Amino acid sequence: MGAIRTDAGAASASPDAHPFDAAIRLAPDGDNVFVGESSPAYGNMIGPYGGVIAATLLNAARLHPSRAGDPLALTVNFAGPLADGLFRVVARPARINRSTQHWHVELAQGDGIAATASAVFGARRETWSSTEAAFPAVPRADQVRPRARMPGSGVPAFIGRYEFREVYGGFPDFAKPSEAEDSGSCLWTRDDPPRPIDYLSLASLADIFYPRIYRRRGRWVPASTVTLTTYFHADGAALDRQGDRHVLGVARALRFGNGYADQTAEIWADDGTLLATSFQLVYFKE
């Protein structure tokens, strides 16, 4: 990777931008190339929160002048660590069809690729529709208490950028280790401060669940997402209806073993519209 030109202003967010928009901001730096800078506001244990990396990769395809339509699917592969600082994103169309587009995106820092993605964009049109997944029977968001701020200096910054109203399967209390019978979690969540939802923040919310292995083992375990796939079921009208209110997230794992676990998740609008389904494979050391 050559020298990064920083004159394009990728690093400086406008003072009134939402921190999420500041974190995923990209500045064009030639054909197919964008420059961004990781935001300490969304820091995780090591490097930025994966959801923001996913949204940044999606944003590169979205900003490309050849992009048409809305996101349908996104797969992000977390290939290596991303340090605080500048990075470069290359987004190029693998194929542009009449109604769908296939994009390949790579995020690099220094000499190494930190993440790759494929994104499918396309036109939505009205068709026969049916939702087979069931919206869970849960209390409304305003009836669920927000998770208290976690104590201690080791809490990743990104935790403060989301609101967590946990219906069940809340973040384990590592001071009182106890194994859970199943890996399921359900919560109302949204950006903090609130921000009207769009495909970018939805891509990030798909990764909002803590590793399922924490819940089954009842304690902290080294774990990190290897690959994350999200299908966007929402059309623009569904996102507009939702605005900045809480969405419902549901997640569980189907299988743990040989150092890897999966996670399957749903993100629902509060009117019962299924906004996205998401899947990830997680490395764990146990």
CB of 227 to a second copy, least distance (A): 5
* Rounded Cα distance, 224 and 141, in Å: 28
* Rounded Cα distance, 48 and 42, in Å: 6
* Rounded Cα distance, 179 and 195, in Å: 35
CB of 255 to a second copy, least distance (A): 5
C-beta closer to a second copy: residue 150 or 226:
226
* Rounded Cα distance, 111 and 118, in Å: 21
| Residue of 131, 269, 263, 248 lying closest to 184 (CA atoms) | 263
Neighbours of 32 (CB within 10 A): 18
Residues near a second copy (CB under 8 A): 72-73, 75, 77, 79-80, 94-95, 97, 100, 102, 104, 106, 112-114, 116, 118, 120, 122-133, 182-183, 216-217, 226-227, 229, 231, 233, 235, 252-260, 262, 264, 266, 274, 277, 279, 281, 283-286
Answer yes or no: are the C-beta atoms of 105 and 60 closer than 8 Å: yes
C-beta closer to a second copy: residue 12 or 99:
99
CB of 17 to a second copy, least distance (A): 30
C-beta closer to a second copy: residue 41 or 238:
238
C-beta closer to a second copy: residue 14 or 127:
127
C-beta closer to a second copy: residue 124 or 195:
124
| Residue of 155, 165, 185, 203 lying closest to 251 (CA atoms) | 185
CB of 215 to a second copy, least distance (A): 11
